[in-house]
Structure 1
Amino acid sequence: MNLVLKSNTNIGVLGLGSLSTLFYLETLNKVYNRNFGDYSTCPLLLLNTNFNEINPFLPDQYKSLEANLLPYLKKMEELNISHLLIPNITLHKTWELLNKKQSFKYTISHPIELTIQSLKRNKQTKIILFASFFNMSSNCLKIYFLNENIEVITVSDDNMQFIDHIRKQVYSGITTMIELEKFNTLVNSYANDVAVILACTELSIAYKGAHQNVYDMAHHQINDTIKKLITS
């Protein structure tokens, strides 16, 4: 099957912190190159934010998040993109709130919606969330799954603390091989019994396995974005 680029699709990527943005860009290029070969890299427009204007208000100070994110989202419209990739799972709630008011002209690859679609295709009815401590312990992320009749199983408090520790260590660039091995073992051990959702970019970076029962939100976003670019 020969793949052809859609001529009317312009992909935009919102730069949100060096680590997560670099991970998304590198993975986008890898997936794109896997489809097109040779020296191909993913055509896109990158609009880098000042993440220090956004990060202090994560995860749920929505009034400040909306005010600081909106100018960048409007700028993306001015750049005439047709599809936007946001390299931050938690920030999609803010995008939803703004989109209800603004009705942006472009579409997005929504990591939570894409993950739920994949779970339903595979007839998965129970999950475990690997995310920030906030998203594992609050209903902010869980509610999306509960509304789709997908049960969310909570890991032990010790494991929550460890998962969040790995997230912070990856963000700071100071993980050890021993900790990463322990994290990957933990993911795979849970995945042997129930679907595991990686709902944080740092955890996507930390996970090196390929368990069929692990659903990586970042990779769902990236694969969906590439699909928007090509036609068979």
Structure 2
Amino acid sequence: MSKATVGLLGLGSRSTLYYIKELNRLYNQKKGGYSTFPFVMLNADFDTINPLLPNTSEALDTVVQTYIDELEKLAITTILIPNITLHETIDRIVIQKKILHPLTLAVEKIIEQEWSTIVLFGSLHSMESNYIRTHFNAKGIEVRLPSQEDRLFIDEFRNQTYAETETPDLIASYHSILNKYSESLPVVLACTELSILKPTGNNRIIDMAQLQIEQAISQTE
């Protein structure tokens, strides 16, 4: 039995499936056999949420609050949201259960590694807005951004990953940019689409989605 039951809010198809796959993979590594990660899921109609992103609004608050209220009626102790950008709205609404918050987990990881400066990769909105930067700065962490050209590429890569239209050449270019920036500073990935196709074996990449997933796994016996 698990110590805590995780409630997953189902959102965009590819990102949600990525979380489920990784939860099952890591849980199976931990437990062995044919074990799969125990969780419950409320599948939202993402078409009611995505058109309102990335900016916060009362309309988005209302939609997300409705889904969270329904999720909290289930037998859960912890909530996992497979969308990094949506956490700015999560911070604005009333939630009774524990949230596996990617920003909190990323700050803990950065401090644990004794890093004081990071490069942020995310959607164009996430990179250029104040939400993540302000949160990190409050903890003494300096946030740097890729060049304007690279920010535009990263956002285009994110869009193509969401649409499942990425090509091997596009993935190779994404890996090249990640490796370039991580040579001098750790890179924080703040977008699930950037997590899905990230390179493996680079310990200077902090993946917010992976931190959420690992924290969910750590709550099980």
Distance in 1 separating the partners of 2:50 and 2:2: 34
State the partner residue of 1:71: 66
State the partner residue of 1:138: 129
State the partner residue of 2:8: 13
1:94-153: per-residue Cα shift (whole Å, max 9, x none)?
A: 11111xxx341x211111110110000110000111100011112122111111111111
Asked if the contact 1:20–1:202 (Cα under 8 Å) also holds between the matched residues in 2, the reply is yes
1:9-55: per-residue Cα shift (whole Å, max 9, x none)?
A: 21110001101100000000001001001110001101000001000
Letter in 1 for 2:116: T
The one of 50, 60, 80 aligned to 1:55: 50
State the partner residue of 2:30: 35
Distance in 1 separating the partners of 2:9 and 2:50: 14
Q: Counterpart of 1:21 in 2: which secondary structure? A: helix
Asked if the contact 2:56–2:88 (Cα under 8 Å) also holds between the matched residues in 1, the reply is no
1:143-177: per-residue Cα shift (whole Å, max 9, x none)?
A: 11111111111211000000001000100111110
Q: Counterpart of 1:97 in 2: which secondary structure? A: coil
Distance in 2 separating the partners of 1:147 and 1:97: 18
Q: Counterpart of 1:38 in 2: which secondary structure? A: coil
Distance in 2 separating the partners of 1:48 and 1:132: 23
State the partner residue of 2:105: 114
State how 1:199-214 maps to structure 2 within 5 Å.
Answer: 199-214=190-205
Distance in 2 separating the partners of 1:145 and 1:32: 30
State the partner residue of 1:182: 173
Distance in 1 separating the partners of 2:56 and 2:88: 11
The TM-score normalised by the length of structure 1 is: 0.92
Distance in 2 separating the partners of 1:24 and 1:211: 20
Asked if the contact 1:11–1:84 (Cα under 8 Å) also holds between the matched residues in 2, the reply is yes
State the partner residue of 1:152: 143
Letter in 2 for 1:51: F
Q: Counterpart of 1:197 in 2: which secondary structure? A: strand
Distance in 2 separating the partners of 1:93 and 1:58: 10
Deviates further, 170-179 or 202-211: 202-211
The one of 81, 91, 113 aligned to 2:76: 81
Letter in 2 for 1:82: T
Asked if the contact 1:28–1:42 (Cα under 8 Å) also holds between the matched residues in 2, the reply is yes
1:44-95: per-residue Cα shift (whole Å, max 9, x none)?
A: 1010000010001111132111110111111122112101110000111111
Superposition CA RMSD, Å: 1.1
Query: Unpaired runs of 5+ in structure 2?
Result: none
Asked if the contact 1:12–1:84 (Cα under 8 Å) also holds between the matched residues in 2, the reply is yes
Distance in 1 separating the partners of 2:95 and 2:205: 33
Asked if the contact 1:33–1:42 (Cα under 8 Å) also holds between the matched residues in 2, the reply is yes
Asked if the contact 1:184–1:209 (Cα under 8 Å) also holds between the matched residues in 2, the reply is no
Q: Counterpart of 1:229 in 2: which secondary structure? A: coil
Asked if the contact 2:118–2:143 (Cα under 8 Å) also holds between the matched residues in 1, the reply is yes
Q: Counterpart of 1:64 in 2: which secondary structure? A: helix
